[in-house]
Amino acid sequence: MTPIEIALQEARDAAARGEVPVGAVVTDAAGRVLGRAGNRVEQDHDASAHAEMLALRQAAAALGCSPRLPGCTLTVTLEPCPMCAQAASFFRIRRVVFGAYDPKGGGVEHGARIYAAPSCHHAPEVVGGVREGECATLLREFFAALRR
């Protein structure tokens, strides 16, 4: 499975648990999965339990030698919010890849644009729109079902 496919599976699993369907995976330079997660905000009663935060923490723990993840890629189904974008910067992620754009809550291409801020110490390479339609549909269907 590719990283975006893994992230999509994590997002589907999150939706099945009643969580907003966002999934994330961290891979090293060789493509090995170091961390993967879906949102667990409701389950953990933790507003910071976004998929990205959980996957980044897992990856750092898996490496066990540093709180930084140079050379690693964070792949996520939705444009990271400002909190998650900043965390990726602090973890020194090399690349952030995301699926659906988030004009309302995003922090990379929209909103706070964390990596463009002069206070940002590390700006990873960013690739947006990977399997955007599939990622956006998953979110749209989840929220449509909640409104019914």
Q: Which residues pair with 78 in a beta bridge?
A: 100
Q: What distance in Å separates the CA atoms of residue 13 and residue 22, rounded to the nearest whole number?
A: 9
Kindly list the distances between the CA atom of residue 136 and the CA atoms of 21, 72, 76, 143, in Å, as whole numbers in the listed order.
Answer: 10, 25, 12, 11
Q: Which of 52, 132, 134, 141 is catalytic?
A: 52
52 annotated active-site:
yes
Q: What distance in Å separates the CA atoms of residue 143 and residue 110, rounded to the nearest whole number?
A: 21
Active site positions, annotated: 52
